[in-house]
Amino acid sequence: MRFIKDFSKIVIPLCKLLEKESTFIFYNACLEAFKMLKEKLVSAPIIIAPDWNLYFEMMCDASGLKLGVVLGQHKNKFFSFHLLCQQNLELCSNELHRD
C-alpha cells in the first residue's frame, strides 16, 4: 500500500461541494480534482490481486475494544515461510535425536 501525496489538497474542490448549505456546482476545478484523484488511485498499488502461488499471512491488530484481522502477502521476502518452517523442523528433529 502506498500513501497518496497531497491527497487533502487534491480533494479540496470536491469537499467544498459537500459543505452544508453550499450550492452543488461542478466547476472545472472539481473536474480536474476528480481526474487527478482517479489517476492517482488507479496508478498507485493500493489494492493488488493476490498471488495464489504464495503463502498468505494473517496480520492481527487488537485494541481494548476491537480486533482486526487482514490476510496479506509479502512478495519480496528474503526467506520464504516454508523454508523457515522446514529449517525449524530439521533443527528440532536434530535436537530430539541427539545421543
Q: List the pLDDT tens digit at each of the 99 positions of the chain.
A: 457 788 889 999 999 888 988 888 889 999 999 999 888 877 766 667 788 888 888 878 777 777 888 888 877 655 455 555 555 555 555 556 665
Grid cell for residue 21: 448549505
CB 56 within 8 A of CB 50: yes
Residue 46: strand pairing partners: none
